[in-house]
Amino acid sequence: MSGEILQIATEQVITILNPEDRGSSVPPESAATFEEIAHRYMAVKEPRWGANTDATAKSVIGKHLIGKLGDRRVDELTAEEIHIFIDGMVRNNASHSLLNKAVVHLRSILDLAQELNLIMSNPMRSYTFKLEHKSRKQKSQRYLSLVECRALLSELSGRNRLIVLLFIQLGVRPEELFALRRNDVHDEFIRIDEVFTMGQIREAHLGEHGVDVYVPPGLRQELHAWMASTCGNDDDWLFPTARLRGSHNLSPIRRAAFLNGVLKPAAKKAGISDLDMLTLRRTCAAHFGKKANAEDAHAQMRLVSPFTTFRYAQQRPPDSLKSAAMALEAEIFTQAELRDPRGEAPNHTVPPILRTFSNFSN
């Protein structure tokens, strides 16, 4: 199989899967292939997917699922074959994110086949089925140098520049930043009490996310200036999506939209490769870790550890943490002449905080 998604008319797929004669399941001699069920699945799900989810899901299903299993009769797929297929992805160093998406879509496609009476049961739902799909791909420790930070910021302006500054200086997670409301911005800190994941807003859990994050003076000034230049109620999103004509109920910016629409194009202009949202968080961890003691560095990144999580959630940041945050801000905005980041000598020393950071997913 080529792995490309074929353009099959919806009427044709429905005819294959739902014969009009007696509404019965497709007989064994004309049983549907996995590819046909996958297209039916996408036709059902597409109206519920956003633009970025739609593109990602179709890519995963087309390239990895249809590309490998498309010509197989769905009623002949076994648990053993599925194990072999997923193990092959693991051996090929598929990322944890790709493996999860492949497993979720594969399971759902087989659920649909069961609902259509094409298979007796979903082999991935068996009590004896245990699928191990932990990625072997080595976790990246890539972070931006200060020169790269300045180069990236020079390609951004307004709201987008402010968002990247919040990522780099505060180390906040995307699901935390994009869930901020205007009333979460206080004098010296921002309060994280909600997260935006899977298109849903939920309450932030203590130990998983911090409560108060200190904002150094320069960033604080830019943040308050941004709020003064925009309008909104106290409980409105700090960074809402662009307003569509006739739209009044705005949602927060989605992670994928900012990554693909803003961050990657700016990074390309700045000559920076291998940049994603986690790279920005690692950047804060690396540079903050050089200026702070271990406890303050863990507190700033809000990593789960017995000696920081509870204390930091219950009290305001200590003066030592504030001093480190201000020192990092001063270094980022030094007036030194900018150099091409591609010509900068690589730093092969991994800061201690990153060795701890790499043990956490984000």
pLDDT tens per residue across span 125-149: 877 767 666 655 556 678 898 899 9
Please report the pLDDT score of residue 9 as a whole number. 45
> What band does 50 get if pLDDT is binned at 50, 70 and 90?
low
Residue 1 identity (one-letter amino acid): M
**Distance between CA atoms of 3 and 70, rounded to whole angstroms?**
8
Alpha-helical regions (H) of 61-145 = 67-69, 79-91, 96-115
Burial per residue of 153-176, b for 16 or more beta-carbon CB atoms within 10 angstroms, e otherwise:
bebbeebbbbbbbbbbbbbbbbbb
Helix/strand/coil percent split, the chain, to 5? 55, 5, 40
Please report the pLDDT score of residue 150 as a whole number. 92
> What band does 338 get if pLDDT is binned at 50, 70 and 90?
very low
3-state secondary structure of 213: strand
> What band does 152 get if pLDDT is binned at 50, 70 and 90?
very high
Instruction: Give me the mean pLDDT over the 106-134 stretch.
Output: 85
| 171 has pLDDT over 80 | yes
Please report the pLDDT score of residue 243 as a whole number. 57
| 349 has pLDDT over 80 | no
Please report the pLDDT score of residue 5 as a whole number. 44
Question: pLDDT > 70: what percent of the chain?
Answer: 72
> What band does 292 get if pLDDT is binned at 50, 70 and 90?
confident
Higher pLDDT, 104 or 350: 104
| Domain residue limits, the chain | 10-125, 146-357
Instruction: Give me the mean pLDDT over the 180-193 stretch.
Output: 90
> What band does 352 get if pLDDT is binned at 50, 70 and 90?
low
Instruction: Please indicate whether the domains covering 10-125 and 146-357 agree at the CATH topology level.
Output: no
| 325 has pLDDT over 50 | yes
Number of H helices, E strands in the chain: 17, 4
In tens, the pLDDT along 224-283 reads 999 999 888 888 999 988 755 444 567 888 888 899 999 999 999 999 988 888 899 889
Please report the pLDDT score of residue 37 as a whole number. 95
| 115 has pLDDT over 90 | yes
pLDDT, mean over the chain: 78
Topology of the domain comprising 146-357: hpI Integrase; Chain A (1.10.443)
Instruction: Give me the mean pLDDT over the 163-187 stretch.
Output: 91
**Distance between CA atoms of 144 and 298, rounded to whole angstroms?**
19
> What band does 208 get if pLDDT is binned at 50, 70 and 90?
low
Class of domain 10-125: mainly alpha
Please report the pLDDT score of residue 341 as a whole number. 36
Nearest of 42, 110, 33 to residue 73 by alpha carbon: 33
Question: pLDDT > 90: what percent of the chain?
Answer: 31
Q: Which residues contact 73 (CB under 8 A, 6 or more apart)?
A: 31, 32, 33, 34
Please report the pLDDT score of residue 52 as a whole number. 62
Nearest of 293, 333, 282, 284 to residue 317 by alpha carbon: 293
In tens, the pLDDT along 6-44 reads 444 444 444 444 544 444 444 444 478 999 999 999 999
Please report the pLDDT score of residue 339 as a whole number. 38
Please report the pLDDT score of residue 211 as a whole number. 77
pTM: 0.60
Please report the pLDDT score of residue 3 as a whole number. 45
Higher pLDDT, 211 or 198: 211
